[in-house]
């Protein structure tokens, strides 16, 4: 029985994620989610209390995937600039592996209410701090030029977060190609002249 319930929950989250990514959270009705699952709208409330519950679960799972991807890199013994390179590649990998999830993560969090909104913001800030600490250390080590660490971190994350807007699995570039090109452009642009 538990496997059936888990499978049904996964279907529900996938349907909601698809609709939130395509139409947006506010424009998606509970009825549309139920229709996507071929059930009555009222039956959906056997699985959730509110539509926001679905959004929160989708966002939490997406955040977990980002942290799971870069935590091993951050904790590794690699030199800092290589950590930063691999962290960018890991982030790109998460996005390209689930473009719909990345779309919801990047834009729909604004519709969270408290306390979820503050909890999400805290996790997002914690993630940004991991990148910022790598940028700071790479600057200190001389691998990056004397740049503003906060601005450089925002530049990196902004550049890679919007990949979901244009990435296509059928496109000419693999996720690895994308990660390499973006990393080369960003880090070479930040690199100290002569290094």
> What domains can you pick out in the chain, each with its CATH number?
51-190 (1.10.357.10)
Q: How far is CA 129 from CA 41, 80, 124, 145, 168, in A?
A: 41, 14, 9, 19, 29
How does pLDDT run across 11-53, given as a tens digit for each residue? 999 999 999 999 999 999 999 999 999 988 878 888 889 999 9
As a 3-state breakdown, the chain gives helix, strand, coil percent values, each rounded to 5, of: 75, 0, 25
How does pLDDT run across 42-87, given as a tens digit for each residue? 788 888 899 999 999 999 999 999 999 999 999 999 999 999 999 9
Q: Are 45 and 105 in contact (CB under 8 A)?
A: no
The first and second tokens of residue 180, run together, are 């390499």
How does pLDDT run across 149-186, given as a tens digit for each residue? 999 999 999 999 999 999 999 999 999 999 999 999 99
């Amino acid at each position: 029985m538990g496997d059936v319930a888990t499978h049904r929950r996964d279907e529900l989250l996938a349907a909601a994620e698809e609709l939130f990514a395509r139409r947006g959270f506010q424009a998606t009705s509970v009825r549309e989610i139920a229709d996507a699952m071929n059930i009555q709208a009222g039956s959906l409330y056997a699985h959730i209390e509110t539509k926001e519950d679905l959004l929160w679960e989708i966002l939490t799972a997406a955040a977990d995937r980002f942290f799971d991807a870069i935590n091993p890199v951050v904790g590794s013994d690699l030199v800092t600039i290589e950590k930063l390179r691999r962290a960018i590649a890991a982030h790109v990998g998460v996005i390209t592996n689930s473009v719909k999830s990345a779309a919801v993560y990047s834009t729909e969090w604004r519709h969270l209410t408290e306390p979820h909104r503050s909890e999400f913001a805290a996790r997002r800030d914690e993630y940004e701090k991991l990148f910022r600490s790598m940028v700071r250390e790479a600057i200190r080590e001389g691998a990056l030029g004397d740049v503003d660490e906060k601005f450089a971190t925002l530049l990196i994350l902004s550049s890679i977060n919007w990949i979901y807007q244009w990435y296509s699995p059928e496109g000419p570039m693999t996720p690895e190609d994308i990660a390499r090109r973006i990393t080369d452009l960003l880090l070479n642009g930040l690199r100290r002249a002569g290094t």
